[in-house]
Amino acid sequence: MRVLLSAEQIQSSIDRLAAEIREREAGRPLTVIAVMTGSIIFLADLIRKLDMPLRVGVIQARSYLGTERGSLSVNADMLPDVAGRDVLVVDDIFDTGHTLLEVLSFLDDLGPRSIRTAVLVLKQGKQQVALRPDYVGFEIPDVFVVGYGLDYNDAYRNLPYLAALEPQDIESERAS
Ligand code: IMP
Ligand code: MG
């Protein structure tokens, strides 16, 4: 495993994102919606740097495997009311973009006043959708990353930094 972004690099990027968000969303209470589960640590760090009125809610996007491979379902059981609200959707990583697109189209149907999106990392050259997040912490090459909320088979979310999982790490995970 190789450290890609240190805890310090992540914090200074979140400082910048928070400043951008505070400036652009100034004067309007925000409804921050975190896409579970990978965004929990990013959410916790980001909202503590947003010195403005806000509410927090969560939503989950699950991808079906098997016959409906690639299609997503949204679990909104814990979503607060977003009608007429200014919403900021927070996700860990923007890869193909399908997850965020699905979440946005779900939320859009609920009639928010505005929706913007923030992601900690964007994988370069992977996007399959026209959407581009409004706030991006880092652009990274196409490697599988773990830590700072992101998992591989539910492991590694608790690493305080972002690491690239190398092929041999994946092999040894399989063997254990
Ligand atoms: P999408 O391809 O943009 O729809 O991303 C789907 C989801 O896959 C993300 O929200 C992450 O939860 C997960 N994901 C994509 N790339 C990685 C990665 O490198 N590490 C861990 N999770 C990832
Ligand atoms: Mg995710």
Alpha-carbon distance 133 to 19, whole Å? Answer: 16
- Across the chain, the runs of DSSP E, i.e. the strands, are 2-5, 30-36, 54-63, 72-75, 86-94, 114-123, 135-140, 145-146, 162-164
Local structure of residue 90 (DSSP, 8 states): E
Which residue would you say has higher pLDDT here, 64 or 99? 99
- What positions carry a catalytic annotation? 95
Decide whether any atom of ligand 1 lies within 6 Å of the 93 Cβ.
yes
| 3 state SS of 105 | helix
pLDDT for the residue numbered 140? 98
**123 neighbors 99 (Cβ within 8 angstroms):** no
CA-based nearest residue to 6, from 122, 124, 154, 164? 164
pLDDT for the residue numbered 66? 56
Decide whether any atom of ligand 1 lies within 6 Å of the 144 Cβ.
yes
Out of 93, 98, 145, 154, mutate this one to test ligand 1's pocket (max ligand atoms within 8 Å of CB): namely: 93
Q: What is the pLDDT of residues 133-145, one digit of tens each?
A: 999 999 999 999 9
**CA of 58, nearest ligand number:** 2
Residue 91: pLDDT band with limits 50, 70, 90: very high
Decide whether any atom of ligand 1 lies within 6 Å of the 45 Cβ.
no
Task: State the pTM of this model.
Answer: 0.94
pLDDT for the residue numbered 68? 53
Q: What is the pLDDT of residues 144-167, one digit of tens each?
A: 999 999 999 999 999 999 999 988
- Tokens (6 digits) for 168: 């041999």
Residue 113: pLDDT band with limits 50, 70, 90: very high
The whole-number average pLDDT for the span 38-64 is: 95
